[in-house]
Amino acid sequence: MSTHLISRLTERLGSDRVVTDADVLAAHASDRAVFAPTGRPLALLRARTVEQVSTALAWAHEHRVPVVPQGARTGLSGGANAIDGALLLSVEGMDRILRIDPVEQIAVVEPGVINATLTRAAEEHGLTYLPDPSSWEISTIGGNVATNAGGLCCVKYGVTRDFVRGLQVVLADGRIMRTGRATAKGVAGYDLTALFVGSEGTLGVITEVTLALRPKPAPALTAAAYFGDVVEACQVVTEVMSSGVRPSLLELMDGPSLEVVSRLQDLGFPPGTDGLLICSSDDPDRQGTDLQTFARIAEAHGGEVVIAEDVQEAELLIQARRLVNPAHAALGTDLVDDVCVPRGRLVDLLRGVREIAARYDVLVTTAGHAGDGNMHPSVVFDASDPDQTERAQAAFGAIMQLGIDLGGTITGEHGVGRLKSAWLGRELDPAAMATQRAIKAALDPRGILNPGSVLSPAADDLH
């Protein structure tokens, strides 16, 4: 039966688009999430046009074949992982920048465009695309939209949703729909654009994105503050953010994250450092004042402050933060949490994470976007050790629960995917969960779009 179905799809789209080679399917079966379930797909469609996507979804809808949309597969929550019998629908090859309009300050792009590629293209017009996830050199705009990605600069400029004006989306039955508009304003009808941003391929497949661009900010200047106690660093965050300073970046690293980075590269951290705060300002009229205010507050909490004298020195200060993920990779496997809590609860989050690390006897490093409360505790472990793996998974879950208990969320920017779908019911109340399921049923009545991602089967919800 499956061979017959694939033959019919191949007849419509061509053998150069539909792939059934086992090695190719295995290479496309998962994203970068650890321990998110992965199944055996039926085939891979390498789509190049919206018409091909539409044809594939109409076919899948007719035959009730599950479809897993994919981009560059750089996600960290298993949202692009295959399920048994699914069609993997890759839009990575839809990678054209269709136009950049300097007057309207917008870009219209296909979903496979790499974030960094768009940013550099916009800069040729004196503009920029500001959302900058750490994966910006390899992640696609479609994937960023699907997960509502954030990044280092979101403390000042916001996340992906704040820059998406309109979408072209192929619905579950193959119909092509446009949402939003290119204009700076527009409130006609429900905000369907916002609904699809962050929906992780469960409501439709995004095939075109209209994005707002901004004038390129001035080069940022940066200061770093080293603390003997990470609690003091957390307290500085709350005071800086209530002082009138509007940093373009405010990142925090705790002692364990500094230690693993030091194993990878010696950056000369002062002995006994338990917390590092990095603060940048890109407002030329306020840079000096903002960094001096940051320095004054940090020093009042025992921080040792270094202020960069130029952009090159600023980049050296930020380098430590960028090395966290490579440092984890050098040590083994890591489960990356993505909890976001109110800034006033950062102290409780950091303390709680350390208690969890001690309780389960695992290494947990914590770094992230302190300016908006979105932190990434990462459980680092030896995946070949079953006992350590079990403890790592338990610690990962405990950290998610801690985030919820502190008034936060299980995901600030990575998405729910398959890795966290059973946890959504702990964060959302029953009425909210019912509404989520009703929206899904209305747009995907046969449940073919990324089933098991975001919304787990109702019986699997944790309460």
* pLDDT band at residue 18 using 50, 70 and 90 as cut-offs: very high
Instruction: Express each pLDDT in 27-52 by its tens digit.
Output: 999 998 988 989 999 999 999 999 99
- Note the helical H segments in 205-343: 230-241, 255-264, 287-300, 311-322, 324-331
Average pLDDT over residues 108-129: 97
The mean pLDDT value of the chain amounts to 94
Q: Give residue 40's pLDDT.
A: 95
Q: Is the pLDDT of residue 77 over 70?
A: yes
Q: Is the pLDDT of residue 313 over 90?
A: no
Instruction: Express each pLDDT in 368-421 by its tens digit.
Output: 999 999 999 999 999 999 999 999 999 999 999 999 999 999 999 999 999 999
* 215-229, 324-338, 419-433, range with the lowest pLDDT: 324-338
Q: Give residue 132's pLDDT.
A: 86
DSSP 86: P
CA distance 127 to 71: 25
Q: Is the pLDDT of residue 305 over 80?
A: yes
Q: Is the pLDDT of residue 459 over 60?
A: no
Q: Give residue 461's pLDDT.
A: 52
> Is 77 in contact with 102 (CB distance < 8 Å)?
no
Average pLDDT over residues 321-332: 88
Q: Which two tokens stand for residue 147?
A: 């997960």
Handedness of CA 16, 21, 27, 28 (dihedral sign): positive
CA distance 191 to 212: 16
Q: How many CA atoms lie within 13 A of 62 on its CB side?
A: 12
Q: Give residue 463's pLDDT.
A: 45
Q: Which residue did the predictor score with more confidence, 219 or 168?
A: 168
Q: Which of 332, 160, 346 is nearest to 253 (CA)?
A: 346
Instruction: Express each pLDDT in 177-233 by its tens digit.
Output: 999 999 999 999 999 999 999 999 999 999 999 999 999 999 999 999 999 999 999
Q: Give residue 332's pLDDT.
A: 86
* pLDDT band at residue 81 using 50, 70 and 90 as cut-offs: very high
Phi, psi of 452, rounded to the nearest 5 degrees: 90, -10
Q: Give residue 460's pLDDT.
A: 55
Percent of the chain having pLDDT more than 70? 98
Amino acid at 339: V
Q: How far is CA 384 from CA 31, 68, 259, 381, in A?
A: 20, 29, 23, 9
pTM of the model: 0.93
Q: Which of 252, 233, 244, 240 is nearest to 301 (CA)?
A: 233
Q: Give residue 3's pLDDT.
A: 83
Percent of the chain having pLDDT more than 90? 87
CA distance 46 to 3: 18
Q: Give residue 458's pLDDT.
A: 63
Average pLDDT over residues 95-121: 98
Q: Is the pLDDT of residue 134 over 90?
A: no
Q: Give residue 50's pLDDT.
A: 98
* pLDDT band at residue 322 using 50, 70 and 90 as cut-offs: confident
Sheet of 106-109, strand order: 97-101, 106-109, 205-212, 164-170, 176-180
* pLDDT band at residue 1 using 50, 70 and 90 as cut-offs: low
> Is 101 in contact with 49 (CB distance < 8 Å)?
no
